[in-house]
Structure 1
């Protein structure tokens, strides 16, 4: 299985390079059409072709990243509340319950993961045809198991299908969700999808509350 995984990553990597080559040819064609003053519908067709190739190349890159081992660069005593707020921006309201959320986190990787989980949650609501009301996000501290953990929850996440959003691999959002879960687990945390809730747990430092 390990050999198959390595072979799959190499195949996807080669396909990504071929897509990048097609993008170069399509870009050259677009410039030639623009220079020749071709009709707008022809230029629009090439623009759509380029956009499709760009999406496919991005998806291939996500698959390559998912198939390779993650290398984290954790910073000691990172503030998870600040990382979460910075990742989601001021437009998203986060309910914070607890005093401190300090731990050893890779801020860049975790920012990417938390942003992609939120985008995936929002996308699933739109896809399900039920995007009314704000997405509810909360951050709390849990010490019921002895070791302190941060719990991040995305509530009111409705999905048209029954599959786990962290394991669907459906489209760009599905692949980003899977990669986000891998980043969370690389931090010794966990990412789960139950009913209409997404939950992420991350270990915290033991010396602070």
Structure 2
């Protein structure tokens, strides 16, 4: 085999391995799915170059062209997820997938339609595709460069720089092959670019934890490399046996590819299922522990009062002088009922609306949270006087605010300033919790309010999701502003109570 064929084959194996590493993180990181799709597309493109060089069948060129087109939406998907714009720019992502998928399907159809293949293999068609691809690709790299410039933490700057370099090598250098196929005097560097981009992306994934912390990353990488090598050896054996039979090569390589994907899917599905089960059990355990803590005190009071009255009864003493113990029993039963009702509303987020003084609520929550202050955190309040009234469930809102304050404390393990403010805008009263911690990167910021998403080893991922549901149940909103190295601000907006007729008339008279 020639040197170019070996480069294509090695790049194919490496891309399959990178796809395996990414697949192991699907469901846990928004970067995993687009990177796995991008790696599969690049692997197909490299193998098509190998297949064309080895068999001489021009149909492989169309397969490679289709795979090269699919790298664009995958790269756009990855870039938007990396810079935290995947949801805001979903229309651009899905639009790119739709257009490129239609073009790629046309390439595959052209394999069996010679007249269509002749129209595709022309300079005007290549120019049209280039004019479509270049602006999209340029916009993506501009977003990455802007994110790199704005990154505040060294590790995030390193990740952003590696991603920018890796995608430039993996994707941008494919354009040299397109230019060469159009007849321009350009050296084809696509295969070499994809091969050189592999260690860059692997370093970002493993060394700089592109997908987040994962103790099994090394194990996943080993399994991915083994799976890729097995696949490449199977491809080589197939070409050796069916070198002159194009139909058998297409069917065989397709079967091997689907077998590899099925094997990867089986491994990943088992891994994800086990992980989700463990997370559910851990969340249930933490929820049960909190409920147990809330129930233990009233139960202990009930038990103590009942034991005392039992002893008094055994001694033949009258209970008339111990009416306070009977009152205590009733009070604790009522307390248990309130605890049960609170947890029911926590699960269903069913607010019991009553007139609420937001400043008094904040004072009550902070008076309790002050005892949990780790010591080096300065707690300050900036409460606007004369806040307009609002309606809400005091228990639910207190729990939501406690979550925000607790998160702020945890974001400043070495100390800082926690500021809780209340103010009003045109239509709402607002409470904001501001910390001076390390802040969030773009990917964490985008997913912060998702159910079960957490960056803490012992977190349940229910805190901010619960805050969002409480705010929405009251007709309000929860929002987040954060930057790496600049702290985080979380705002809870609640609609103002409609003014009563008497209040309106007084206001008009005034």
| Bin of the TM-score, shorter chain as denominator length | 0.5 to 0.7
Residue aligning to 1:152 = 431
CA contact (8 A) 1:187 1:202 kept: yes
Residue aligning to 1:177 = 464
Q: 1:1-209 to 2 correspondence within 5 Å? A: 57-59=285-287, 69-75=348-354, 77-89=355-367, 91=370, 92-126=379-413, 131-143=414-426, 147=427, 149-155=428-434, 156-159=436-439, 161-162=441-442, 163-164=444-445, 165-167=448-450, 169-170=453-454, 171-172=458-459, 174-195=461-482, 196-207=488-499
Task: Return closer, same or farther for 1:124/1:142 CA change in 2, 3 Å cut-off.
Answer: same
Q: How many Å apart are 1:180 and its aligned residue?
A: 1.8
- SS of equivalent to 2:438: coil
Count residues in correspondence: 150
Q: Counterparts of 2:388 and 2:360 in 1: how far apart (Å)?
A: 9
Q: Counterparts of 1:179 and 1:66 in 2: how far apart (Å)?
A: 11
- SS of equivalent to 2:422: strand
Q: How many Å apart are 1:140 and its aligned residue?
A: 0.5
Q: Counterparts of 2:473 and 2:437 in 1: how far apart (Å)?
A: 24
What TM-score does the superposition give when structure 1 sets the normalisation length? Answer: 0.59
Task: Return closer, same or farther for 1:73/1:107 CA change in 2, 3 Å cut-off.
Answer: same
Select the structure of larger CA radius of gyration.
2
Name whichever structure is richer in helix by fraction.
2
Name whichever structure is richer in strand by fraction.
1
CA contact (8 A) 1:184 1:191 kept: yes
Q: Counterparts of 2:432 and 2:422 in 1: how far apart (Å)?
A: 7
What TM-score does the superposition give when structure 2 sets the normalisation length? Answer: 0.26
Gaps of 5+ in 2: 1-275, 291-342, 371-378, 483-487
- SS of equivalent to 1:58: helix
Q: Counterparts of 1:173 and 1:158 in 2: how far apart (Å)?
A: 20
- SS of equivalent to 1:125: coil
Q: How many Å apart are 1:178 and its aligned residue?
A: 1.3
